[in-house]
Structure 1
Amino acid sequence: MGVTRQDTTAGGEGTVPPGGRLHPVADTLGYLAGRWRVERTVYDLSQDRNGTFSGTACFTRREQPATGLLHAERGEFTWGGVTRPASREHLFEPAGDGAAFVRFADGRPFHLLDLRGGHCLADHPCAEDVYRGEFSVLTADRWRVVWTVRGPAKDLRLVSVHHRI
């Protein structure tokens, strides 16, 4: 049911709890709803460089045009010693049985997200690159996502840890 290996690339914050146990949730959208502090490290593996993002992610209820959540992330991204404002948005829609379907802000499909077992893998092709996400619910108030991006244009690893505010 759970991932047993440890991933300490986020400064230890993203490690799986002792015993490798993850935290299953009954309803993905219900779990995500609310406000989260986000700490992210972005590794460019092809250039042996990294950057950081620090900010908040708010998952707020949507009523129209469809039910679900609006994910709005805001913060600062530091790369090469330069810090700039950064933001992004996604739409999270009910996918039945407690799972969610994630879309980009413009409505294009992104991936399915099912946290009922405490863990989910998701793939997303983007041009010739492939994004692979690994989502882990660590506690009732902490979850992690690791995106690995591989292809001719990118060789990245993004490790994000979310703490409920």
Structure 2
Amino acid sequence: MAGGLWPVADALAFLTGDWRVERTVRDLAEDVTGTFTGTTAFTAEGEGLLHFESGTFEWRGVARPAERTLRFLPGEEPGTAVVRFSDGRFFHGLDLRDGHHIADHPCSADLYRGEFTVHDADGWRTVWRVRGPAKDLVLTTDYRRLPPAAVRLP
């Protein structure tokens, strides 16, 4: 995905809608790469957004259905967000007001460091670098906005 930074005044407004997702998962310790392809829908829920991702994850030649749910809530500063796991646990903050954000998430002895880059009104990328005694991974995800669903008349 090419391009510079695209400032986002309101993270929740920007994310709302449906996105095409393409992710590579590289296990650096074992020199193995997998892929995820699918969609992510950001839909209104209460004061924030429900993030539902579904698709196919291929790892070591085996393709399986995969999905996850996150919640994006308004942050303390206008235009920012707080990301929580589906069970309500804190995941990370998100501030895209300058088009770029870095977030850390400690998970047991491993550290997840996410870099979020918005390239334009319809495209953004996350790169999670995971390091620790249990993991040595790079997860790169590209998001492209899908056009609104066509209205079907009876």
Normalized against structure 2, the TM-score is what?
A: 0.93
Corresponding residue number in structure 2 for 1:93: 73
Alignment of structure 1 residues 29-48 onto 2, 5 Å: 29-48=12-31
Distance in 2 between residues matched to 1:92 and 1:25, nearest whole Å = 15
Corresponding residue number in structure 1 for 2:10: 27
Distance in 2 between residues matched to 1:25 and 1:149, nearest whole Å = 26
* 3-state SS of paired residue (2:14): helix
Corresponding residue number in structure 1 for 2:140: 159
Give aligned-pair identity as a percent: 59
Alignment of structure 1 residues 64-143 onto 2, 5 Å: 67-95=47-75, 96-143=77-124
* 3-state SS of paired residue (1:46): coil
Cα deviation 1:39-64 (Å, max 9, x = unaligned):
0000000000000000000000002x
Corresponding residue number in structure 2 for 1:3: none
1:60 corresponds to 2:43: yes
- State the 1:24 CA deviation: 0.3
* 3-state SS of paired residue (1:30): helix
Listed as ranges, the gaps of 5+ residues in structure 1 are 1-13
Corresponding residue number in structure 2 for 1:10: none
**Runs of 4+ that moved beyond 2 A:** none
* 3-state SS of paired residue (1:156): strand
Distance in 1 between residues matched to 2:23 and 2:44, nearest whole Å = 24
Quote the RMSD (CA, aligned, Å).
0.6
Distance in 1 between residues matched to 2:21 and 2:99, nearest whole Å = 19
Distance in 2 between residues matched to 1:70 and 1:115, nearest whole Å = 18
1:150 corresponds to 2:109: no
Instruction: Count residues with an aligned counterpart.
Output: 145
